[in-house]
């Protein structure tokens, strides 16, 4: 197995997490109870307000932004951003705990990918040669 460039690998892991989040959300739309709860304006006993939707929108911008920042930032700045983005993203995911087995599966996969992201950022040596970059 080839060793990927850390910038590309981190970006790919963030995309992997986002795809899991999106698929989990779309998957829920096939469940009648989920649609019924959405129509009531409540999800998991919490009233869905504009403020909650805004907060969720802001939280999802963190992993979306990290896809781009993984390619744009230098190692030093990307490591710093990663050590902020992972806990913020994980905390956001834990604010809406899983409601069924497939949600648990997706959450475990997402948290595992974030653990790998932290590991790669932590172990990324200074001066690591990057293909295609001076």
Domain assignment of residue 129, yes or no: no
- Integer angstrom CA distances of residue 121 from 5, 44, 99, 113: 12, 35, 31, 12
How many structural domains are present in the chain? 1
Q: Which residues pair with 43 in a beta bridge?
A: 46
pLDDT at 132: 47
Q: Is 66 in contact with 85 (CB distance < 8 Å)? A: yes
Domain assignment of residue 30, yes or no: yes
Domain assignment of residue 58, yes or no: yes
Domain assignment of residue 130, yes or no: no
Q: Which residue has the higher pLDDT, 99 or 60?
A: 60
CA atoms within 13 A on the CB side of 39: 7
Phi and psi torsions of 100, nearest 5°: -150, 180
Structural domain range at position 93? 6-123
pLDDT tens for residues 40-93?
A: 988 877 898 999 999 999 999 999 999 999 999 999 999 999 999 999 999 999
Domain assignment of residue 15, yes or no: yes
pTM for the model: 0.87
Domain assignment of residue 132, yes or no: no
CA atoms within 13 A on the CB side of 86: 22
Q: Is 128 helix (H, G, I), strand (E, B) or coil?
A: coil
Domain assignment of residue 50, yes or no: yes
Domain assignment of residue 134, yes or no: no
């Amino acid at each position: 197995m080839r060793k990927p460039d850390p910038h590309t690998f981190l970006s790919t892991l963030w995309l992997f997490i986002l795809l899991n989040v999106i698929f989990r959300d779309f998957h829920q739309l096939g469940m009648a109870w989920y649609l019924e709860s959405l129509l009531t304006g409540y999800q998991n006993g919490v009233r869905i307000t504009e403020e909650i939707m805004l907060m969720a929108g802001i939280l999802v911008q963190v992993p979306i932004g990290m896809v781009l920042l993984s390619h744009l930032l230098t190692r030093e700045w990307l490591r710093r951003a990663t050590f902020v983005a992972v806990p913020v993203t994980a905390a956001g995911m834990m604010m809406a705990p899983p409601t069924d087995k497939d949600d648990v599966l997706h959450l475990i996969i997402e948290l595992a990918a974030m653990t790998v992201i932290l590991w790669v950022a932590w172990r990324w040596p200074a001066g690591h040669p990057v293909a295609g970059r001076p």
